[in-house]
Amino acid sequence: MKNISSTMVTTVLLCFLLSACREEVYIPKPRGYAAVDLPVKEYTSFSKDSYPYQFDYPVYGTVEKDSLFFDKETENPWWINIDFKTLGGKVFISYKEITSQTSLSKLLEDSYQLSYYHTKKADYINDPVFHTENNVHGVFYNVGGNSASAFQFYATDSVKHFLRGALYFDVAPNADSLQPVNDFLIEDIEQMVKSLKWTK
């Protein structure tokens, strides 16, 4: 009886020892994203005598002449970018005057094609129409998912002026990590459009 008891105790201890030697299984933690410090909203005016438009933009953005078209100064003298350096984003703004050579229908088609190009990576695209009291109307394109540009718009008076904007980031598109900054900057872009005026 004593032998059976000691054999049983030895067996139980041996089982505990063997189970304690088992390799530990690691479960990966879900991916996290760095916190982003969002600035306080405040606006200033972009207004230059030579430009056919003016609007309010955030003070934490820097207006720059579009460097891609310096060699085409006469063709695109009013193209600018608003660089949000601390947020890693940039709004590219292009302007065209509506003429018989550059018709409104052609500009609308080009804008549509550029915006819907991103549907390849998009989960959805919303395109609500807007009208402001400054004789500005157009369409916002809000693109969901991992598209390169989550927010684009065009604005026009349908007679002379056509302005297009698109928000891009200098990182690989990731809807989850960019969502807080997208939401923050979309409000600013809406303010830019709401305050947009034609000056010529």
Domain at 160, CATH number: 3.40.1000
Residue 88 in any domain: the answer is yes
Residue 9 in any domain: the answer is no
185 near 38, Cβ under 8 Å?
no
**pTM recorded for the entire structure:** 0.77
Q: Is the pLDDT of residue 136 over 90?
A: yes
Residue 63 in any domain: the answer is yes
Identity of the highest mean pLDDT range in 10-24, 43-57, 162-176: 43-57
Residue 93 in any domain: the answer is yes
Residue 20 in any domain: the answer is no
**Domain tally for the chain?**
1
Residue 97 in any domain: the answer is yes
Residue 177 in any domain: the answer is yes
Instruction: State the residue range of the domain holding 109.
Output: 43-198
- Kindly calculate the radius of gyration of the chain based on its CA atoms and give it in whole angstroms: 28
The two three-digit tokens of residue 147, written as one number: 């598209």
Alpha-carbon span 153 to 100, nearest angstrom: 23
Q: 117 or 1, which is more confident? A: 117
Residue 131 in any domain: the answer is yes
pLDDT in tens, 139-189: 998 877 777 788 899 999 999 999 999 998 887 666 667 788 888 999 999
